[in-house]
Each structure stands twice: as C-alpha cells, then as structure tokens.
Structure 1
Amino acid sequence: MTDFATFAQKIIDELTKEGRKHTAETRKYSANRLLMFMANKPTPMDKWDELFVKDYETWLKAQGLSASTTAYYLSQLCVFYKQAVKRGNIQEQDIFRLVNKTPSPKPAVQQFPSIAELRYLQTLNLNKSQDFARDMFLFSLYARGMNYVDMAYLKKSNVKDGMLTYISHTSDNNPAVTIKWDKAMQQIADKYTSDTEYMFPIITKEGNADETEQIKRSRHNAVYNLRSIGKQYKFSVSPTIAMTKDLWRKIMDEVSVSEVI
C-alpha cells in the first residue's frame, strides 16, 4: 500500500537535493491540490483507478479552474503515477483513459507578489485613489478572491453574525458563498460610508442604468492604480484584482496545519 503524501514528499525532497527547486515547487503545489481533493477520503496509490482520476477531474473543474489548468493538474498527477510505477511501488494500468491530461496550450506559471511584498503593501502611505485600489485588492484577497463585480454589489446586509454571505453576479445559478467575516475585512469596510445600500463607493447611484459603466470605470481605475503602486514601489509583480483567487489558493496550499493550529 503506497501512501501518496509520503511518496510525493520523497519525490519533492529528491528534487530539492538535486537543486531542481522550481520543479520541486511545481510538484509540491500539485501534490497539495490532490491532497485537498483526498482530504475526506485518502486513497492509496495502488487503489487509484479511472474513476478516481475522473472524480479528481470533476473536482478540479468544480473549483472554477479552466480546462487547460485542469489538464495541467492531471498531467502532474500522471507524473507522480509514472514515478510510482517506475520505482515498482504500483503496477501500471490505464487509469487516465477517461480524462484529458494534455494541457493545450500549457498554462504559463503565474507570478505573484511575495508575502513580504503583500505585508509591505499594507504599510504604504498612498494617495486616495491608490489607497482605495489597495483596499479593494486586499479585501478581494481576504474574501478568497472575490471579483470586482461582486465587491461592487456587496451590501452591508450581507454581513450577519460574523459571516459574509453573497451570491456571485458573474454568472447564472451560482450557489450562495459564505465565508468568515474577519477583523481585516471589517477595518476596510469601516473606512467607507455610503448613502446607498452597498458597502463600497463603486456604485454611487442605485437603480441607474449606468451601473455597469460605474463598475467598469472603478475597476479600470483600480487596475491602473495597483499597477502604479507596483512600479512606484518596485514590486516583483504588480498586484491585480484578477490574481487574488489564485493568490489566495497558493497561500492556502503553502500553509501547513501546524501553522494554523
């Protein structure tokens, strides 16, 4: 019986010792994703079959990942599987026959500001426009990658009993999303007052046919100001609202249980 977590860590350690740090990080990130999938039902590698792989593909898509990114994670799963076969840990079977594990095109490795830069961002003395852009970026990150449209429509009434609950406006038939309302989110919300029911001054005239344009204009300004912050303060990568969901996932993937409890 081959435990995946133990096997994956061995592969990652070997790559690190060989100086292949980038490959080791890629394997670590991919392994963490699979371990999240198996959190409630750990499955030894010798018990993997085509239904297991198909379920993993379905789970990846349910996380909102694109087809190419889903295929990328499946290809990484295949790498671990082939390594286990090569080392004699398991016998090879055609367990990938029901899925597409060939990324086309192969997704570029997304770059993010470092944790140190994110902390530095919080300390900067910025002008009013830059400050608002920073707040929207940080709030989106704290809210697990909430997109700008949903932040625009976020209402004060969405917060109740320490929880934030909202339904995304980006597509139809979205389930309600509920996340913990924490101190950092409250501090940002407290900075803004509005005569409307909305939490942030993005839509300033309710019931106006121009709401979409108000959101587009505000988002454009936020994008511009975040880019200017990145350039002015020499960030390795300028922060963007578009990256917050993947950035939140990356941070969560890198946090170990011992750092949380």
Structure 2
Amino acid sequence: MASLKIKYRHSSIEGKAGTLFYQVIHKRIARQISSGYKIYPDEWDISNSQIIIPTGIEENRYRYLVSLEKYIKEDTLRLKDIMIKFDNFGYNYTADEVIEYYSTFPKNEYFICFSENLIGQLKQIGKIRTAETYTTTLNSFRRFMHSRKKGSDIPFDKIDSSLMMEYEQYLKFHDICPNSSSYYMRNLRAIYNRAVEKELVIQRYPFKYVYTGIDKTVKRAVSAKIIRQIRDLDLSHTPSLEYARDLFMFSFYTRGMSFVDMAYLKKSNLQNGFLSYCRKKTNQRLLIKWEKPMQEIIDKYDTSNTPYLLPIIKNILKDNTGQYKNAIRLMNTKLKTIGMLIGLPIPLTTYVARHAWASIARSKNVQISTISEAMGHDSESTTRIYLASLDTSIVDEANSLIIQTL
C-alpha cells in the first residue's frame, strides 16, 4: 500500500509564509500535490507533521489555523480512501494515478449525484415508495447545501459527523420537529451506506452524533364525542367537505386505516363479510369485519367504472400515484376546514382517525395488545409484533364496540 506524508516547504522569501503539500509514496516513487495552504514556520511541527497554534496570536489567525487543521484532516482522509480503494480492487496503480484520481474526483462519487442515480434505479425496479422517500429527503438536503453557499453537491469524503450536525441544526432552525429530522437522517444514512457497500467511500459513521431515533409524538387523538360531531355534521351543501368527512370516518371505522391503503382498496378485497388488505407500509395482511357504517359510505359513491372500492383513484388510465397524492392533499385541506367548523383545537387530518381509534379503544378498557398500542409503543417494530400476534376475532369485537360508542 502507498504511504502519505504531509510536508512543509519554506518560502524563498524570508519572513513569508511557506506552503504545505502532500507526498504520496508508492513503490519507492514519490509524487507531490500542493494543498494550497500557507503557514509560517513557527506554525508547523515538522517532527509530528501537524499545525502548531502559537499562544497569543490574534483571533482571525487562530480561526484560520483551526480551519486548516480540519481541511488537512479531510484531505488526508480523502487521499487514504483512494489508496485503500485501489488496494481493495487489486489495482496495480502508481503514485501518479493516486494524485490524478484525487485531482479529478469522479462525479459519480459525489453524494447528491449518487443519490439521484440511486433514486432512478429504485424507480426502474418498482420501488416507488422508497424512491419518493429518498427524493423528499434529498430535496431537504439540497436546500441545506444551498444555504451554505458552498456548491450544490459534495464529495463523499466530505460527508462527516460535523456536516450532519450542521444539517441537524439547520433543520432545528427551520422548526423541523425531531421525528422529521430523524426521518431525514435515517434516509441519508441509508443512501450513504449504499455507497459504502459499493466501496465508493470508507465507512466513517457520519450520523453517530445526530438523532436518528423516534420520539413519542404529540397525541392527536380526539374523543368519541368529537368523532360523533364529525359524523353527524350536515355537509350536504358542500359535497367536497362531505366527501372528506366520509373518507375520514371510513378510516376510523376500519381501525385507523391509512389513506394510501384506502386509496388502493379494491372491490375484490371485500369478500364474505370481511375486508382483507395488505398494508403498503409494512406489507402486513390485515382482516377487518365489515360493518354497516362502512357499507353506508361505499353506497354513497359511484365507483362502477373502476376496480377500486372508494372514489379516490377515479381514472385507471391516469397515474395512480399522482391521483392519490392530489387526493390526500385536498382531503387534509378539507378536513382542517371541518375541524375549524367544530372548533377543534388541533388540525384535523387523516392521521387523527388512527389516533382516535386507539385512544377510544383504550378508554373502553380494550387490552393494549388488542389495539397493538399503535400510538404508544416506542417503535413501530413492537407494534407490528403485537399486530401480527392478534386474534382477529378479538380485534373485530373491539372495532364493533368502538363503532357502537358513536
């Protein structure tokens, strides 16, 4: 393997700052590349190849030298990465090729470029949801990079813990909640780890100092009284509000079914008095006893021209994903209007139905395992374990009990 040294070259003019350069030695051949950094002789420790920060220097000079320490570390790590990569590939390289590779730095080894290519590949193999998740995260990271005014992309060797901590502070400054910040960090980490797998970068764990957990969210549940108010509102004069209310109630009746799962429900999912579907998020198969209020909502809307149970995806010839996204945006807008009509202190959204179902179930002394503690577990994996082990008849009894409460 090649070796790397940091050298100091004195200025030919006495009293002037000298220049730092990197020396790559491989197979007894040494090549040099200038760092572009200039320091004075008393600021460099020749024996230990490191910067000395003299005591009593002015603040600007102090900051400059501290910055140089960071830049030198980044440069040397980048050069070492290249040499390790060449060694791992079994490539019979020269010192000149290390320098050339360092100078040109292939574009596909830049983070945002790599991420965009990865998103394209995910779309090609049908992993649309993952591609959308990464796209949302990448857009946030792009805005952060733009705010730094240091270029639109960044090489992988610059993705370090300091940058991620800076990004976390950026998110906090823009009032992004901890769970959303963690969501972005986990997605960026997943992209970064893919690059590690492809040996584009050495794993340095840049996310070790930022939050990647899941906080308990602020409760968005409402009482059975509020659910009854929503159900009994006379919205016949405003069909768009009535439609949003009906879909909200359908979600509640089906144990807080997510909007995306509702959108893709097909008539074939309803057989022999039971609604069977597979959750998009977890790929888990769920079975729900069909109740009268569910049928009343279905009967209100004409879906004869589509295979879908609900009128969310209305045109099978158009993009389904686009129709679903437009529908949920419109529905949440209408639900907020409904919430204001009844004086609700929290924004009414599709997710409130899920919270409300769990909260009301608990108030009726339904066992925690029966409702899977959907809104109280520290991790979704624990929730899924509970859901997977439930006797569906118990769940159906619980659902009937909750509907009868209204």
Contact in 2 for aligned 1:137/1:239 (Cα 8 Å): no
Partners of 1:167 and 1:106 in 2: CA distance: 26
Alignment of 1:237 with 2:329, yes or no, is no
- SS of the equivalent of 1:197 reads coil
Pick from 145, 160, 172 the counterpart of residue 271 of structure 2: 160
**1:150 alignment counterpart:** 261
Alignment of 1:220 with 2:329, yes or no, is yes
**1:83 alignment counterpart:** none
- Runs of 4+, deviation exceeding 3 Å: 103-106
- In the alignment, structure 1 segments of 5+ residues that lack a partner are 1-67, 69-102
Alignment of 1:170 with 2:281, yes or no, is yes
Partners of 2:358 and 2:221 in 1: CA distance: 12
**1:133 alignment counterpart:** 244
Partners of 2:222 and 2:284 in 1: CA distance: 30
What is the aligned-residue identity percentage? 36
Instruction: Kindly state the Cα deviation for residue 207 of structure 1 after the two structures are TM-superposed.
Output: 4.6
Pick from 249, 253, 258 the counterpart of residue 362 of structure 2: 253
CA RMSD of aligned residues (A): 2.3
Partners of 2:309 and 2:243 in 1: CA distance: 13
Give per-residue Cα distances to partners, 1:45-81, cap 9 Å, x unaligned.
xxxxxxxxxxxxxxxxxxxxxxx8xxxxxxxxxxxxx
Alignment of 1:112 with 2:238, yes or no, is no
**2:306 alignment counterpart:** 196
**2:233 alignment counterpart:** 124
Which residue identity is paired with 2:306?
T
Give per-residue Cα distances to partners, 1:178-231, cap 9 Å, x unaligned.
0111011111111111110111111111153x2111111111110000001111
Structure 1 or 2: larger strand share? 2
Instruction: Kindly state the Cα deviation for residue 157 of structure 1 after the two structures are TM-superposed.
Output: 1.6
Partners of 1:199 and 1:104 in 2: CA distance: 36
- SS of the equivalent of 2:309 reads coil
- SS of the equivalent of 1:201 reads coil
Instruction: Kindly state the Cα deviation for residue 243 of structure 1 after the two structures are TM-superposed.
Output: 2.5
Which residue identity is paired with 2:275?
L
Contact in 1 for aligned 2:221/2:355 (Cα 8 Å): no
Partners of 1:182 and 1:239 in 2: CA distance: 24
Partners of 1:154 and 1:185 in 2: CA distance: 13
Give per-residue Cα distances to partners, 1:118-169, cap 9 Å, x unaligned.
1111111111111111111111111111111111111112111111001123
User: Which of 1 and 2 has higher RCO (CA within 8 Å, sep 6+)?
Assistant: 1
Q: How many residues align?
A: 155
Contact in 2 for aligned 1:133/1:226 (Cα 8 Å): yes
Partners of 1:105 and 1:186 in 2: CA distance: 37
**2:175 alignment counterpart:** none
**1:50 alignment counterpart:** none
Give per-residue Cα distances to partners, 1:12-69, cap 9 Å, x unaligned.
xxxxxxxxxxxxxxxxxxxxxxxxxxxxxxxxxxxxxxxxxxxxxxxxxxxxxxxx8x
Which residue identity is paired with 2:338?
I
Which residue identity is paired with 1:212?
T
Contact in 1 for aligned 2:276/2:285 (Cα 8 Å): yes
